[in-house]
Amino acid sequence: MFAVRIHGRGGQGAVTAAELLSVAAFDEGRHAQAFPTFGSERTGAPVVSFCRIDDRAIRLREPITDPDALIVQDPTLLHQVNLFAGLKPDGFLVLNTSRTLEELGLGDLVDGLRRDHVVTVPATELAREHLGRPLPNAALLGAFAALTGQVSLGAVCDAISDRFPGEVGVGNARAARAAHEHVRRSLGSTAGGRVAGA
């Protein structure tokens, strides 16, 4: 089973991101589950969402404490919440920022993870460019697909188009493709095996 934990703030689409990821996996013939955890918080409050992907039926229902991958939608959460709790040493990290991990004070974290499992993506900027709104979730799913190979870019874009018909879907799919290409360029040949079939 591949477990994903998504950290964001209310209004950034963390819940929708988990749902889209589960639909993309399901459309590729796998079992998937998505659910959030949040209270009655306002827009901007921290939100955590979860997605599990497996080739077999998923019977677990509890929150994910030991994720295989983290998607961080908002870098302002980095020093407010213990985002990296439980992340496995060979886990994946997709972080929405145009800054480096060293600039964010996370250089020690990188030392504990595989370099080819960590990527920063300017997802908010890509969303503004392609969608006209600062909603990073679709772009981050494109980056996740390139980094992990758990779902294909095509499945992500299909899930986006099904959920958001018209120009909103087109813009989100463009942002996902741009982020996917950003990760391919960032990792170069080290990610070749994971992104080749995307």
Determine, yes or no, domain membership for 193: no
Give the range of the structural domain holding residue 131, as residue numbers without chain letter: 2-188
Q: What is the mean pLDDT of residues 149-177?
A: 97
The residues pairing with 52 across neighbouring beta strands, listed in sequence order, are 3, 33
Q: Domain with 84 in it: what CATH number?
A: 3.40.920.10
Are 188 and 141 within 8 A, CB to CB? no
Contacts with 26 (C-beta within 8 Å, 6 or more apart), sequence order: 32
Please, what is the Cα angle at 181 between 25 and 5, to 5 degrees?
40
Asked if the model's pLDDT at residue 194 lies above 60, the reply is no
Determine, yes or no, domain membership for 198: no
**What pLDDT sits at residue 197?**
36
pTM comes to 0.91
Asked if the model's pLDDT at residue 162 lies above 90, the reply is yes
Determine, yes or no, domain membership for 138: yes
φ and ψ of 2, to 5 deg: -115, 120
In angstroms, the CA 24 to CA 141 distance is: 10
- At 39, the pLDDT band (50, 70, 90 cuts) reads low
Domains in the chain: how many in total? 1
Instruction: Locate 115 and state its tokens.
Output: 């370099």
Determine, yes or no, domain membership for 112: yes
In angstroms, the CA 142 to CA 139 distance is: 5
From 10-24, 56-70, 96-110, the region with the lowest mean pLDDT: 96-110
In angstroms, the CA 25 to CA 33 distance is: 9
Q: What is the mean pLDDT of residues 71-86?
A: 87
Q: What is the mean pLDDT of residues 151-175?
A: 97
3-class DSSP state of 67: coil
Average pLDDT value over all residues in the chain: 90
